[in-house]
Amino acid sequence: AQSVAQPEDQVNVAEGNPLTVKCTYSVSGNPYLFWYVQYPNRGLQFLLKYITGDNLVKGSYGFEAEFNKSQTSFHLKKPSALVSDSALYFCAVRASGDYKLSFGAGTTVTVRA
Amino acid sequence: DVKVTQSSRYLVKRTGEKVFLECVQDMDHENMFWYRQDPGLGLRLIYFSYDVKMKEKGDIPEGYSVSREKKERFSLILESASTNQTSMYLCAGGARGTYEQYFGPGTRLTVT
């Protein structure tokens, strides 16, 4: 069975400060890892993915994530947060060769001006 | 731009009613998915389909069925709605051989 843990329900940062949203995963075999963002009353938008290769992945809106195999983590980062980054963030994992994505419970990010 | 549309943004139904949630994608994707989203639980997979007329159960299929008669359309059916099916329902599409899924805007269903 595969699973994702997002240990923080909420993250609060000041605009201009670095933003980190944590994610750890469990999966059999090689993981495919994803981050999605959800703005209020909207569907999920794809941010970035790790499939293979470089452990540092860059995505949309200035976000990046680092894959750490030994710690089974895939933390999302942004060097300088904006108020418009305030949203609900989901980490997801699937095993290679599988269709199914498993999502974490989500982390609400609030960036204050 | 890829596009996934869902027939309703908000829906209110009574207990025992049969409910149809429709999803259409314009991406020519083989794979389509139905999830429900509940606070503190994230997204949970109800059913998915990897081809026309093909379907597989996800993690929480009880009380739901699906239909995929055409490649672009994937319907979720609640045979007899119950109050514990009040939730946000999200449809997604994905191309075979690629990795990410693309989501519709969601349908917030309330069963009273």
Task: Between B91 and A40, name the one with better pLDDT.
Answer: B91
The nearest CA of chain A is from the CA of B21 a distance in Å of 15
pLDDT band per the 50, 70, 90 thresholds, residue B1: low
Chain B residues in contact with A100 by the CB 8 A cut-off are 45, 48, 58
Q: How far is B17 from chain A (nearest CA, A)?
A: 25
Proportion of chain B above pLDDT 90, given as a percent: 76
Position B100 pLDDT exceeds 90: no
Q: Quick check: B99 and A32 CB within 8 A?
A: yes
The predicted pLDDT at position A41 comes to 77
- Contact (CB<8Å) B42/A90: yes
Residue A105 and residue B41: Cβ atoms within 8 Å? yes
| Least Cα separation, residue B14 to chain A (angstroms) | 23
pLDDT score recorded for residue A63: 97
A46, A103, A106: residue with CB nearest B100? A46
What confidence score (pLDDT) does residue A42 get? 80
Please tell me if residue A44 touches chain B, with a CB cutoff of 8 Å.
yes
Residue A64 token pair: 């990046």
- Please give the pLDDT value at position B76: 97
Side-chain half-sphere exposure of A7, counting CA atoms within 13 A: 9
Q: How many CA atoms lie within 13 A of A47 on its CB side?
A: 26
Average the pLDDT over each of A7-11, A51-55, B107-111 and give the range with the smallest value: A51-55
